[in-house]
Structures are given as C-alpha cells and as structure tokens.
Structure 1
Amino acid sequence: MRLQYALTMNDPKSPDAAAMQSVSSTATSGLTRTDILTALGYLQSKEGAGLALMYAKYAKDSGEFKRAVKAAATEAQVLAIKVVSKGRDRKHAVIAQSLARLAVLEYCRTADTPGAKCRCGGTGRIADAELIARAPKDAKPDELTRPCERCRGTGLRPVPASRVYRAIVTLAPELAEHTYYRHWRPVYDSLLAWCYTQEDRAEAGYVKLTRREAA
C-alpha cells in the first residue's frame, strides 16, 4: 500500500481503513494494519514535514496543514536569507510566512480541489487527432491520447505567478512587483520544490520501514 493511501487509515470512515479491518494483512505484503500504523508513527518522528504535507494533501487534514505551513515557513526564512539582500525584519517575516502558506496550498491541490482541475478533466491527457486518424480499429483508448500541454500531464491548472504576487502584495503593499519577481519568486519556487522533496523523502522512508516489517 502506497503511503498516500495508508494515510487515510487513521480515518475510521475511510474505505482503506474498513478494508484493513476486515482482513489480517494488506494484500500479499504480509503487513497488518498495526504494522502500517506503527510505521506511520515512526515516520512522524523522522520525516514530520513530509508526512504533514502528505496528510494535508491526501487526507485533507487541517491540523497537519498548519504543521506543514509552519515547517515550510521555517524553510522560507532560510531561503530568504540566501536570496534577499536586506536584513531580516518583520516585513520579510510576513512575506516568508505568506509564501510558505501559498506554496503549501499549491502543493496540496488535487483534481478534486475546487477550480484546480485542468480542461483535460484532471486526467492529464487529451485526445490526439493524428493518433486517432492512423490508429487501428482495435486500438485502446489510452493509445489515442497525449499529455495535456496546459497542465503538462498533472491534471491541474497551473497557478499563475501573478496570482501569488497579488496575494502577497495585499499583506505587504510596499513590495514592488520587480522586487517580488527578482527576489521572492525564486523563494516561492524553491519552497514548492521543497514540498515535493519532503514528500519523496517521506515516501522513501515509508517504503523502507514497511519492507523491513514485511521481511
């Protein structure tokens, strides 16, 4: 069971939890529900930021969302010191905190997030006229599509850079647009990349733990 599905087991109403309670192990892995929950508990102490991000994204946990934003804000302060020439002050702290929240919000978007789904329907793929024209009659539907150019296969509408700036400038009206794009936009992009890196680390840690449990 992938980590993003294992996270829903803490919710007694989730389908995964119900399925786990009805059997002694997960498919052929030999892992019990207790094994997986134990692994999640251990992972919380080692990859807390990544786990909080994934709980916020896949389980829509508001408490974990706040923890994820707090961790991202700490990272934002570190990044800001590297790219923003001026010394740290209250204004910089406000901008860093805001960028952290916005980055986590963007990371947490899924196809079921209101307004986030791309025109491709959230599949990340669209029909390819050329493939359809020359395809054999027994071609499978998946063979007649190509990655959506709008979302680059993610199934989600890209978030315009201008939208992030408009959100930040409401809290820091003195922030000039050119200053944002020169100094703060790289911080935002790095924060978003950090979110995905934390997810990868949490996923890798989970795989390592569950393989050890199943051995």
Structure 2
Amino acid sequence: MIIAIDGPAASGKGTIARRLAAHYRLPHLDTGLLYRAVGAKALAHHVNFEDPAALAALAGVLDPAALDPEALKSGAIGEAASRVAAVPQVRAKLLTLQQDFARQPGGAVLDGRDIGTVIAPDAEVKLFVTATPEARAARRHHELLGRGEEVALEAVLADILKRDERDSGRASAPLARAADAEILDNTGLDVEQSWQAALALVERRRRPGGPS
C-alpha cells in the first residue's frame, strides 16, 4: 500500500505521515527533507540559487540515509528548500529516488507537495492536508520558538504566504491536490484530532467498496 500525503508548509502532513507509517508498519520518506538538504548544502557552500546546474549537482550526490531531520528544520533552510524545489533540474534529479522509495515491496508512506500528482499518482491512498495560513504560521512560530529561534509571528506568516505562492505557482510539479485525494483541513484540530481524522480517511479508502 502506498500512502501519498501532500499539503502546504506547516500543515501537519509530516506528523500524520510518520504516525501512519508507524501504524501500518511501512517505511516513511519526508520528501521535503530532500529539498531541505539541497538547500542547506547550497547555503553552506555559498552556491548561487540562480544556478540550476550547480543546485542539481548537489541533488545528484544526496544520500537520503544521511539526512538529519533536526538539523534541517531551521527557518532559513526552509526558505532555501522552497527555492530549490522550484528548480526543474533539482526535481528531475530527485524524482527517481522518490519513485523507487514509493515502489518498494510492501509499499510506503511519502509526504510532500507532489506525491499524489507526480511521484506516486497510482497510490492507493491520497490525502491532501491543509489549514489556513494563519493557523500554519502559528504552528511554525511555536516550533521555531521551541528551538530557540527568535522570530516574529508576522514574519513567519509572511514566509508561509510567500512559500505557498512559490510552491503553487512553480512550473515544475506545483503543489496541487490530486483529483482523487481526500482533503483534511485541520485548522481547528489539535495533533491527536488531526491524526485520528487522517486514520479514518485512510481506513475508509482501504475498505472494500470505499471511494476510489
């Protein structure tokens, strides 16, 4: 079973994906970490973000097994990830890696922005997790403060809106809900309620005669 989870920044899709993977005992890939890793390398090596070939070269030598999620969660890396994700050459380098992960025996859970539309369009279960920009900004702001990053809520909201526009408007694999994806708007839900709602949607899809 392949579970494809898409959604904008700070929608909670990563938390849901991890819990679904644990529940169904499936491997999980946060595809956003791949782009964060490329963005982090570009920042560390002072690579020009207007140089697609140089960014693609960084993506070409990426080792998913070596990714450190905690080290890749800063706000600056998130902004860099959004920029490199809009580069078609970078997306092309990472496409096969993600598709191979999705198609491994037994299935997998993947979360990102183009899983249900590009990476695994044949996934048995597709969720599109979203929330209002204000709710997502508040979550991200709380997360950043918890890591000791002093940043104003207004700045976080502005960053969320900018990333939404870039992710949805890019020419290559834009953020979009797959036509057959279940929508989960968790604006008014806490983490546990969001997880339970996601699990219910997956189970509904898995039932014989469920939505297709």
What TM-score does the superposition give when structure 2 sets the normalisation length?
0.26
Q: Going by fraction, where is helix more abundant, 1 or 2?
A: 1
Q: Which has the higher contact order (CA 8 A, sep 6+)?
A: 2
Q: If you compute each CA radius of gyration, which structure gives the higher value, 1 or 2? A: 1
What TM-score does the superposition give when structure 1 sets the normalisation length?
0.25
Q: Going by fraction, where is strand more abundant, 1 or 2?
A: 2
